[in-house]
Structure 1
């Protein structure tokens, strides 16, 4: 019995000694994760995420976050060259960085135009500043191949691909080469394209389509994106023999439109007493606000409001051809801008002398206005012979990669 008591005493003393030893050991505290985003250490603020409500304006948002009206006016005035607060749109998300004390006064307003682009308005100090920024985008080159069973759109959808790739193939790369309304079963396609990501894993769109292959009725059509004209710097798609896949001019400057009045040098107008008033343009009717596209690559040489033309833009394509677009509600380009075929240069309107919403499309050849519908329009500028060896070297690895892609049935 004495032996058992002795052993118990030893155990108690040992336990006390261990406790005393453990009391002297510092326990590591868990440090909070430090988070940096939009250029700020978020740990230093109360972070509030919200969305622009219907009818809500910038002043109301800041007032709700304890910024008084005179301060709001000062902010709006200081940032007007960077951010127009009247253009905030319903449904757009934003973030407020506020003080962490009991006042929770807003310090920073972040407006998220898209998943990538955002505007920061910082008014926490006496110096108010605003700037536009982007979340870093990661580019991953991907490949895809498919076989047509019904149409191109369905073939793309079956593989969970972006509708943009369908548009790119049908309305851009092969618009002048393949009639996509007459595809045949077992036609095939392959693509090498860029997928864009933020935060490594979140997809935010498609970048360049670097190369494409389409087999239609057993005939192969290659396409490679390449800048052959270093002066203009505008890329085009060329085939495996260096032929340009694009026509020099689009058929019309407006999609889904109709001709409301043709070029007519002997047109009589009732408003002018049925006198002959030559109409040297082709009118395409469409609703106000419909985008107007330049029909060919070129440089903007006029962009102004003038008399009966209203808002108009004129584009010089080369030493032979120019085009003009009249009666716009709004112009989207300035003199000196380089534009690519299909770029939006303005919007349908009713400015100047016009009885309804349309664009008057005028076509100039060697300084004279002519009927574009009666012109034998040229193909796009061919690649220079001196460029071709460089081009063939450039496309060689892309062509090999296209040829190696296996079809997904």
Structure 2
């Protein structure tokens, strides 16, 4: 029985040195032998099921047909993974490693385009994408995303074999990995998530022009500012109450990877806002916000159903900017750019969502048997009549439809179907914690205060944008 090389004309009996080469091939290692000349013959094998499932004692490659020839694809892959070839003694073994290609998604690319352009056979490209759909929608591909492809090296200077793996980061936390399955044109896809660690962070600052600017100066993410505004909106009118010199302090979570890099933000755990000398502290507990006494801050209606807007006209008699005479203004106006999201002031059912006379695009929500709210001059409506909505849900966007001089939200509060001044009504409050819940809440508060104190002492830079640390309410 003999093992025949390809193109060398070297035939050696498998007893002796060649026996060692055959054993080495089965074990998945590389062995060099010198058949009496300065040229070395290298047996190249990989420790994988494709190679190990074939015994070199039962078949010869290339020049002699085996008793039971494998199919074309199997034969091709065998030739690429287990081959006898000529090398000079100076050849670097690293040159026999896999070929790795990195490609970037360009404008107008589909995933098929990218794969074929980078050397993946069309049949493999379609099979790979079909597998990908189980974990990722290929239509969600974004310009600039990077893809890594791995191919087996066919021969020195001879190109690559069929693609064996595909990797692509979906975002900072998730990655897709796709591997060829067995010998055929089929692939297995999995989504891999990074292991993240929870880290606490404390941000504080003094408001000089706006809360958003002060938060940015304190490295507090914009998303956290939006989350912070919502629970305070029940008691603070961010368009009228916030003044220069007011302060804030926020304890929040950051999720970091093994290198300590921030991947995403977690929840806001506690926050203090000092407004006009009045200190308000809120704590997250049981998916709600509570004051230090364990009373939920949630009320029937938000003070302001829009973020980052300015009050341009209050409730009451005024000279109408278009009609030119004094007319009762039965709501309040908030100036904001077209497209700014508008939120439902409270839970309820949409009574009307359509064009309504001089109001333009208009939504009215019934919250209970007494209270309703209305939103006018919208550029877009996201809800329909009869739909249930939750407090804070985006129902549309600011516009200037109907009788309007510019983009703004006209907002009305109705009590028993009559418009009233939103600032004049007393709204029902949320739940108060019972004894058992209150005990757990107080334990949470104690832990949070300990964490805040620790973070304050750990970094002197926390007060870089403020002259004093906000006091925390204990009322």
Tell me which interval the TM-score lies in, with the shorter structure as reference length.
0.5 to 0.7
8 Å Cα contact 1:350/1:357 also seen in 2 = yes
The superposition leaves residues 50-71 of structure 1 with CA deviations (integer Å, 9 ceiling, x where unpaired) of 5555x53548656745798xx9
Give the secondary structure class of the aligned counterpart of 2:443.
helix
Which residue of 367, 370, 373 maps to 2:419?
Answer: 370
Distance 1:307 1:399, change over 3 A: closer
Paired with 1:275 and 1:164, the residues of 2 have a C-alpha distance of: 42
Paired with 2:327 and 2:164, the residues of 1 have a C-alpha distance of: 63
Distance 1:64 1:188, change over 3 A: closer
Which residue of 172, 176, 198 maps to 1:115?
Answer: 172
Name the structure 2 match of 1:163: 221
Name the structure 2 match of 1:399: 445
Paired with 2:316 and 2:115, the residues of 1 have a C-alpha distance of: 55
Give the secondary structure class of the aligned counterpart of 1:243.
coil
Give the secondary structure class of the aligned counterpart of 1:329.
strand
Deviation at 1:362, TM superposition (A): 3.4
Deviation at 1:116, TM superposition (A): 3.8
Distance 1:371 1:379, change over 3 A: closer
Q: TM-score when scaled to structure 2?
A: 0.51
Distance 1:403 1:251, change over 3 A: closer
Which residue of 386, 390, 400 maps to 1:339?
Answer: 390
Note the 1:206-355 alignment, pairs <5 A. Answer: 206-212=265-271, 221-227=280-286, 235-245=287-297, 248-251=301-304, 253-259=306-312, 282-294=332-344, 296-301=345-350, 304-306=353-355, 308=357, 311-332=361-382, 336=387, 338-341=389-392, 343-350=393-400
The superposition leaves residues 323-366 of structure 1 with CA deviations (integer Å, 9 ceiling, x where unpaired) of 2333433344566454333x433222355676653333333322
The superposition leaves residues 240-281 of structure 1 with CA deviations (integer Å, 9 ceiling, x where unpaired) of 2123446642235352345379777996966xxx99999755
Paired with 1:128 and 1:276, the residues of 2 have a C-alpha distance of: 73
Distance 1:244 1:277, change over 3 A: same
| Structure 2 unaligned blocks of 5 or more | 1-16, 31-44, 49-97, 155-159, 461-475
Deviation at 1:370, TM superposition (A): 0.7
Deviation at 1:225, TM superposition (A): 1.5
Paired with 1:278 and 1:128, the residues of 2 have a C-alpha distance of: 69
Paired with 2:372 and 2:329, the residues of 1 have a C-alpha distance of: 17
Give the secondary structure class of the aligned counterpart of 2:424.
coil
8 Å Cα contact 1:141/1:195 also seen in 2 = yes
The superposition leaves residues 202-244 of structure 1 with CA deviations (integer Å, 9 ceiling, x where unpaired) of 42222112234578999875422134xxxxxxx4321121234
Give the secondary structure class of the aligned counterpart of 1:391.
helix
Deviation at 1:97, TM superposition (A): 5.3
Name the structure 2 match of 1:40: none
Paired with 1:204 and 1:149, the residues of 2 have a C-alpha distance of: 27
Tell me the number of residue pairs that the alignment of Structure 1 and Structure 2 aligns: 346
The superposition leaves residues 164-207 of structure 1 with CA deviations (integer Å, 9 ceiling, x where unpaired) of 587268634556469664547xx89573x322235684422221
Paired with 1:220 and 1:182, the residues of 2 have a C-alpha distance of: 15
8 Å Cα contact 1:135/1:198 also seen in 2 = no
Larger radius of gyration: 2
| Structure 1 unaligned blocks of 5 or more | 1-19, 35-44, 228-234
Paired with 2:47 and 2:273, the residues of 1 have a C-alpha distance of: 50
8 Å Cα contact 1:96/1:106 also seen in 2 = no
